[in-house]
Amino acid sequence: MDQKYKDMVDERLRTNSSEIFGNFSPEHAGYIIAQFIAKAEKSIEILSGNFSDAFYDGISVADLLKVAAERLKKNGGKIRIITVNGGRCQKLLELKEEIDKKSSGVLQYIPAKCTNPEAVNHFMVVDDMRYRLEEPHWGSAPDSIPQYVKAEVCCNGVQKAAQLLASFYRAWDQLGGDEVPQKCVMG
């Protein structure tokens, strides 16, 4: 990935820019996700397909989430993850178990089965303002990395983040998750 893209992302994070920008490659996505997790102070919500080892191991997400969990615990925050491709993600279960040893209850994970996972927008929201929203996509194999994933990204998009969080917490609530933040309950 070119340094110019990294510098642009870093500057937008530093200034909490409300400018929307794109990401198109797995490398861009990895950098943005890693930076968002590294900067999280109070919350991380992720709706993913299967939390693909091929992708997330490449950005050392487990290590990033461990560090973030300690930081979020101090701030009363949570990391909540839903996967929609069916089946439990063993890596996430193991990570949750490991994080629970130091920061019990900070990482919460719900596996789900969606009837049409290829039509679901995967996304993440951090600290109620940063978001990364992918267009629906499907790899050639369940644990493959797509060559091209178009995503909308914003470092300070409070309104869009609130919409994504409302959608996330509707699913979270329907799947039996606990502690739905009051700000996310919509009539």
Which range is least confidently modeled, 51-55, 59-63, 80-84?
Answer: 51-55
pTM across the whole model: 0.89
Domain segments of the chain as ranges: 22-181
**CATH class label, 22-181:** alpha beta
For residue range 8-53, list pLDDT tens digits in order.
999 999 999 999 999 888 888 889 999 999 999 999 999 988 777 5
- Sign of the C-alpha dihedral computed for residues 147, 152, 155 and 158 taken in this order: negative
Tell me the C-alpha to C-alpha distance, in Å, between residue 184 and each of 8, 76, 88, 105: 31, 17, 25, 19
Both tokens of residue 163? 């919409």
Q: So what's the pLDDT on residue 185?
A: 41
CA distance 77 to 95: 17
